[in-house]
Amino acid sequence: MSERKDCDLIEAIESNNLPLVQKALREGADPNARKRVTELAAGPYSPYQQPNYLAAFGQAGLLPQTVVPSQQYEIALAESALALAIIHASPTIVGTLIQAGADPIRPVEWTFKAKGNYSDPFAPNFGVPPRHLTFRWNSAIEFALAEGPVSVHRKDGKVASGEGLTLNLTPRVDVIAVLLRDAPGAINANLLTKAKQLHDERIASLIEKRLQGDYDTARGVVTPPPALPPRRADINGRVEELAAKLEQLTAKFSADTEKLEQRVRELENRNGELERQLQTMSVQLNSKLDQTTLARITRLEQQVTNLGVQQPSNHAQAAPPVDVKRLMHVVGDFTPCDADEIALSAGERVFCNFEYPDGWGSGFNTSTGGSGFFPMACLSDTPTLSPAPVSVGVRTSSVVAPLRTPPPSNPSAARAVPSTRAFADVRGPAP
């Protein structure tokens, strides 16, 4: 990962792109990184027998053998990031690298290996091994003062040996001004001597004033670039950017939180209202149940009282029911209260078997098919078109009476009479 970031830094410097340089440094690139070169390693040599390409012209045979090195490779370090910034005349990038930790006092050196020729036998340099060109300066300021041709590798963070070009170095006063400001420890009298040999007299003047401790840019010949922000300033800027973003997110989430809290309050109010409604309905239901239960209890107590009055302590037999045995019309509605009672609706017809002293009767509803007890006040021999409310009395004697049909008074006569004539007295509805 670090090697990739170092390559990104080298490529950003060679592209003269300050934002990419700063980005690579923030992501962990080494400000003292160097270009990586893949080159042939020194190793065992093997003979190469060159064929005689002139055999077609009558000259047969082989040419003398040539010794060729084996193809083994290694990685070498070449130009440093600071040296490349000086080569490409980027004073701002030079200052950024120094502020990020690049050492301007470290010697600047690299080796450029020119390719040999082992493949083209017709070339004049066939069989010549690669040439090694080594360049070295004691410090970055000394390298910035250099002028003349120099061999450098092609632009990229990772290149092959021999891939490069020759540049003609020319000292730049703005680059030297940055180095004098940010690396005062590398200044000495030898630099002043070299600077006086240059065509640009401003460089020597800057170095001389720096040696004398008088580096007042207001009175100097050349005004150096403004001080570059240190790496801490980049970090502070990043922190401020993150703080602003955090503030925006906090404001957004605060608004969302306020909406959610408002929604929660609304739901709580709604829940309270529903609870109050449920409590009110529960109270009403309990009250209605209490009233129904109380009415039922009162009715049962009244029935018990009536039974106690009608049945003395000597357990005298109650009066027997009256044998009715005819079909009657329902003239009033009745809703049963006990399990042995049947419902009646006006317009229906009921076959009444018996009528009890308490005003109740027993029989079955021919319309619904149900059998049981019912109030006789709801029945009539004649139908009615306008049913009226009916007053239902309390059951007494019919409560203890079994729901049964008494046997006929003359069994032999009952057996002799066909069943179709058993209800000869039943009358239909009035015409």
Helices 91-100 and 173-182, interaxial angle, to 10°?
20
Write out the residue range of the structural domain in which residue 83 sits.
Answer: 2-43+64-242
Give the pLDDT confidence score for residue 220 in this predicted structure: 37
Q: Summarize pLDDT for 32-41 with one digit per residue, the tens.
A: 988 887 765 5
Which two three-digit tokens encode residue 357? 């002293």
Give the pLDDT confidence score for residue 216 in this predicted structure: 47
Residues 331 and 207 in one domain: no
Residues 91 and 204 in one domain: yes
Strand partners, 74: 39
Residues 361 and 220 in one domain: no
Give the pLDDT confidence score for residue 264 in this predicted structure: 92
Count of domains forming the chain: 2
User: Ranked by mean pLDDT, which of 157-171, 313-327, 341-355, 417-431 comes out on top?
Assistant: 341-355
Residues 340 and 223 in one domain: no
Torsions phi, psi for 181 (to 5 deg): -75, -45
Give the pLDDT confidence score for residue 165 in this predicted structure: 78
Asked whether residue 267 is assigned to any structural domain, the reply reads no
Asked whether residue 249 is assigned to any structural domain, the reply reads no
Whether the pLDDT of residue 374 is over 90: the answer is yes
Give the pLDDT confidence score for residue 412 in this predicted structure: 43
Residues 233 and 110 in one domain: yes
User: Ranked by mean pLDDT, which of 2-16, 121-135, 306-320, 381-395 comes out on top?
Assistant: 2-16
Residues 71 and 201 in one domain: yes
What's the pTM?
A: 0.43
CATH number of the domain that 25 lies in? 1.25.40.20
Asked whether residue 383 is assigned to any structural domain, the reply reads yes
Of 88-92, 235-239, 276-280, 313-317, least confident by mean pLDDT is: 313-317
Residues 157 and 17 in one domain: yes
Can you tell me the mean pLDDT for 193-211? 84
Asked whether residue 290 is assigned to any structural domain, the reply reads no
Q: Summarize pLDDT for 128-160 with one digit per residue, the tens.
A: 555 677 888 888 888 888 888 888 877 876 776
Domain end, chosen from 208, 242, 276, is at: 242
CATH number of the domain that 326 lies in? 2.30.30.40
CA–CA separation, 7 and 227 (whole Å): 27
Give the pLDDT confidence score for residue 351 in this predicted structure: 95
What mean pLDDT value characterizes the chain?
76
CA–CA separation, 101 and 115 (whole Å): 35
